[in-house]
Amino acid sequence: MARMGAVIAGICSLVGVFACQTTAPNYLGDHLYVANCSSCHGIFGEGDGPVSAVLNISMRDLRYLAARNSGAFPRELIAKIIDGRELRVAHGQREMPVWGEEFLLMEGFDAAA
Distance CA(86)–CA(99), nearest Å, equals: 12
Query: Looking at the 3D structure of the chain, how many domains does it have?
Result: 1
Q: Give the pTM.
A: 0.58
Residue 7 lies in domain: 2-106
Query: 22-62: per-residue pLDDT in tens?
Result: 454 566 888 888 988 899 899 999 999 998 888 888 888 99
Query: 81-106: per-residue pLDDT in tens?
Result: 887 778 765 444 555 666 767 777 77
User: Looking at the domain assignment, is residue 23 inside a domain?
Assistant: yes
All residues at 6 or more sequence positions from 64 whose CB lies less than 8 Å from its CB, including other chains: 7
pLDDT given at position 85: 79
The model's confidence at residue 79, banded by pLDDT at 50, 70 and 90, is confident
pLDDT given at position 21: 46
R_g of the chain computed on alpha carbons: 14
User: Looking at the domain assignment, is residue 112 inside a domain?
Assistant: no
User: Looking at the domain assignment, is residue 113 inside a domain?
Assistant: no
User: Looking at the domain assignment, is residue 74 inside a domain?
Assistant: yes
